[in-house]
Structure 1
Amino acid sequence: MPKSRTSRTAEPAKHAIILAGGSGTRLWPLSRNLFPKQLLALSGEETLLQQTVRRVLTAFAPQNIWVVTNEEHMFEVRSQLKRLDPALDSRVLAEPLARNTLPAVLLGLDRVLAATGGEDSKAAVAVFPSDHLLEDLQGFRDSLDRAMELAAQGRFVTFGVVPRKPETGYGYIARGESLGDRAWSVERFIEKPRLEKALEFLKSGRHYWNSGVFVFRPCDFLDAVARHAPEFWPWWTNREQLPLSQGYGGLPNLSVDYGIAEKIDNIAVVEARFEWDDLGNWEAIYRLGKKDENGNVIQGDVLALDCRDCLLISKGGKLAAVGLANMIMIQTRDATLTCPLTDVQRVKEVVALLKSQGSQLVESHMTVKRPWGSYSVLEEGPHYKIKRIEVLPGARLSLQMHHHRSEHWVVVSGTALVEIGGEERLLVENQAVDIAKATTHRLANPGKVALEIIEIQSGPYLEEDDIVRFDDVYGRVKRKDS
């Protein structure tokens, strides 16, 4: 039977911080820096972020939830959350620069403390990754309740997942003294082990996968920061005089695991009563996917002949595969990945090599979402680039200028309100306009339907950081993306 609501009215408030940063490089080419895995629908109709937030909403009030992301993902995160509950639109915090989980948690904790009345608050705070898959909602609630009980006793708590196989891609937790009701003190944390060690851990019955979920009281967390991560303390304690965004880029790139959890004594692990997977690579997507009669997991426009035990995904164009076994093929409009299922961990090597070559394939897809709509790169070459731009009804881009490129706009559908050098004009289908370099301009959609234009850029430098903003309704100034 579920617990009575009336019996819990005296409990301290519960708050959740959901971490929605990260890039998910091991799921390239679907996951890119500007559209990482938590924003993708990899398991079901909803994205991993939406699934996480929906699950958290069963245990926390919307006004007690904070989602921390970075500025690049801010508007897409808000858009996804509004579809779940409009109240969540104002609960998104943006890191001014991508950092690790410790500073991100402190950003969220600042808002929690503002709501609970100070650093001596005994409120319970739970921190959740946004890119993991959990099944068994009741098991999740039961585990969370047990963690809350331990946190109220002054313990820092994490969830440990019973390993199903000798996984070398996860961190492990070794349990120590029993605390009763499927909870133990933590003996130690172990980073991603070699296979022989992972086999030992699987057989021991004393080791768990580290889920990355933490539960604590703010006062206990801040005490641990002061003791074990003192380099954060001046930044934190000066937050009433200076905004937290100031100095954020100079903070250490430190995780909660390394900075806090592995250094404190009062940490406990609760055995997870739910199925868990971090969907960290393509093997996990295959393993959890719905398979056909030949053991294939197929998504998108795929033609498979005599293939077995393969993961075949197409997000752009027809993908034809013949005679494959135990392989993955992931196709997008601008990139294709092929490798044996046994080599999926090497995808990060591909991403590292592309990054060293300066490839934009690690940054974004051909279609990039923006708060005002989206743009797609149709073709590019030396000194030119062609884009399709869609502007949502009532939306407008920033007033901006480019030092190195000129632009030619052709309206395909809808009505465009164009401002060039301080003068405005309306354009309709088949009408065009030229914007010379170093000229201020703005594009807006005053209509009730989407505006679509073709933009032809020409000049010696066409990258997205050639934008100087003078006015922007989305709060972006002199940033690198339109």
Structure 2
Amino acid sequence: MMSDLQNSPAVFAEECHAIILAGGSGTRLWPLSRNLLPKQLLVLGGDRTLLQQTVARVLEAFTSDKIWIVTNEEHAFEVRKQVSQIDHELESRVVAEPVSRNTLPAIMLGLDKVVGPNTQALAAVFPSDHLISNSLEWKQALEEASALAAKRRFVTFGVEPDHPETGYGYIALGESLGDNAFAVDGFVEKPDLNTAKSFVRDGNHLWNSGMFLFRVKDFLKQVARCQPRLWDWWLARERKPLIESYGQLSDISVDYGVVEKIDNIVAVKAGFQWDDLGSWEAMYRLGEKDEDGNVIQGDVLAMDCKNSLLISEGGKLAAVGVEDMIMVQTRDATLSCPMPHVQRVRDVVQALKSQGSQLVESHPTVVRPWGSYSVLEEGPHYKIKRIQVNSGARLSSQMHHHRSEHWVVVDGTAEVEVNNEPRILVENQSIDIPKAAQHRLANPGKVPLNIIEIQSGPYLEEDDIVRFEDVYGRVKK
């Protein structure tokens, strides 16, 4: 089997489809990850994002026409860009949720693309934000799981724990079914430390990897039994697209909604190395350490520091005499946390949300399908941005109810339209955009366009945009 797997780039091309879940809220690796840039879209090691690593791995076992990537609307453009860099055909295989509704509705949205005349089709579900090595063993586990799923078993993948981890869910194993397969006795969600230690000792518990493989027809039957309201929504797909009523669905995970309610579950013990990079402690554990046990990235000055994770992506981070600490600095936020309290980063994010802080939503630099913008400074009734527009890109035709804008071209050529009057601006030229004026910005040149935008008005948030026309399909109906 091993040689067959090694020689086949698409082990499951005919009978199995892959659904990659690329949503996420960007809470556990804050402040590096944010709602608009969750961890799967970040480069956290090597030269590819976690999403790109996942896509490249899945392409070793599936052809591109059997792969679907489900994300949410806010991330769709960045996801399409990243997956197209791995395989350009995958750009058209991205499905966007209008709102985030957790893993079960997202899987159903992907299955809508899979279901067809082949009622025996299998589907594998993969999170996009996990780190996996030993791809040959990963493909072997898929081969074993597909054989079980063809016999109408719902298969999950478990990883043998090598340390007590309180941030992961666990699978309780039952009787052996031969080879690496076991009946599942139950699931334990994020145990306390003493319980996690006992799980490592007893050998009867595996980390829950969040990957599944099942026969589509059998899975849908379980959805009908366990989640009748979701099933009604699914049946309505024959009359209208699922996405039209997607926002009315409950926020529910596939584990809670289906997996924990069925009894024909099998766990395949994985032989590959796995980590979901669910905390800064995991980033430290997997990182390359210096002679003092520190993992250091970016512009960091460390003096007499030991066993710490020190990351800077904005300015100099100077740390003196710290031990067993996590210190992560971006341009607009800094996290300082003792290693044993790493799971409380979620509490930090929740506290910031309750304060209405934009630090949860985005970085100072925000990527858009046409380029990016960076907030340089802001205060009461004003905001200053640096806007970069890619060559040939075009922003939407839009207006603002509450702000006026002043644009200064730093370099490049700007094609500007204000109230249907076009103009060309070059370096050091400027233009005023009055409040409520319909306007548009484009870059007709061969090099990036950079402008400085000064906003003024009583309300300056991004939701004060009325779009009239947009090449990226962002006009609200």
Instruction: Please tell me the TM-score bracket, short chain as reference.
Output: over 0.9
| Aligned residue among 47, 50, 53 for 1:51 | 53
Which residue, 93, 96, 110 being the options, matches 2:95? 93
What is the rounded CA distance, in whole Å, between the counterparts of 2:11 and 2:138 in structure 1?
A: 21
Select 2:170's aligned residue among 166, 169, 172: 172
Equivalent residues of 2:13, 2:63 under 8 A apart = no
The percentage of aligned residue pairs carrying the same residue is 68
Partner of 1:69: 71
Contact 1:12 1:124 in 2 (8 A): no
Residue 200 of structure 1, CA deviation: 2.1
Please tell me whether the aligned partners of residues 12 and 62 of structure 2 are also in contact (alpha carbons under 8 angstroms): no
* TM-score, with length taken from structure 1: 0.96
Q: 1:11: how far off?
A: 8.3
- Which of 28, 44, 51 matches 1:42? 44
Which whole-Å CA distance do the structure 2 matches of 1:9 and 1:378 have between them?
Answer: 50
Give me the whole-angstrom Cα distance separating, in 1, the residues matched to 2:345 and 2:15. Answer: 42
- The whole-number CA distance in structure 2 between the counterparts of 1:205 and 1:330 is 35
Instruction: Give the Cα–Cα distance (whole angstroms) in 2 for the partners of residues 121 and 59 of structure 1.
Output: 21
Partner of 1:60: 62
The correspondence for 2:144, drawn from 143, 146, 164, is 146
SS of 2:262 mapped into structure 1 = coil
Matches within 5 A, 1:296-375: 296-375=294-373
**Matching residue's letter, 2:111:** L
| Amino acid across the alignment from 1:279 | L
How many pairs were matched up?
474
Query: In structure 1, how many angstroms separate the alpha carbons of the residues matched to 2:364 and 2:240?
Result: 39
Letter of the aligned partner of 1:97 in structure 2? Answer: V
- Cα–Cα, structure 1 residues 155 and 12, in superposed 2: closer, same or farther, change >3 Å? farther
Q: 1:11 to 1:242 in 2, by over 3 A?
A: closer
1:435 matched to which residue of 2? Answer: 433
Instruction: Report the counterpart of residue 108 of structure 1 in structure 2.
Output: 110
Question: Which residue identity is paired with 2:401?
Answer: H
Residue matched to 1:410: 408
Shift of 1:12: 4.5
Alpha carbons 2:332, 2:364 under 8 Å: kept: yes
Match of 1:20 in 2: 22
Please say if 1:250 is aligned against 2:242.
Answer: no
Q: List structure 1 segments (4+ residues) > 3 angstroms apart after TM superposition.
A: 8-12
**Superimposed CA distance per residue, residues 211-246 of structure 1 (whole angstroms, 9 cap, x where no aligned partner):** 000001110110110011111111111112111111
Alignment deviations for residues 170-225 of structure 1 (CA, whole Å, 9 cap, x no partner): 11111112211110111111111122222222221111111000001110110110
Q: More deviation in 159-168 or 32-41?
A: 159-168
Q: Deviations over 1:261-308 (max 9, x none)?
A: 111111100001111111001000000000011111011111111111
Q: Which runs of 5+ in 1 are unaligned?
A: none
Name the aligned partner's letter for residue 233 of structure 2.
W
Q: Helix, strand or coil for the counterpart of 1:232?
A: helix
Query: Counterparts of 1:124-143 in structure 2 under 5 Å?
Result: 124-143=122-141
CA RMSD of aligned residues (A): 1.5
- 2:81 is matched with which residue? 79
Q: Give me the whole-angstrom Cα distance separating, in 2, the residues matched to 1:439 and 1:73.
A: 29
Is 2:262 the counterpart of 1:264?
A: yes
1:450 counterpart = 2:448 = yes
Return the letter of the residue paired with 1:78.
R
- For the 8 Å contact 1:408–1:432, the answer to whether it is kept is yes
In 1, the alpha carbon distance for the partners of 2:295 and 2:196 equals 27
Q: Distance in 1 between matches of 2:85 and 2:129?
A: 18
- Give the TM-score normalised by structure 2: 0.97
Query: In structure 2, do the counterparts of structure 1 residues 182 and 91 end up closer, same or farther at CA, with 3 Å as the change threshold?
Result: same
Report what 1:2 is aligned to: 3
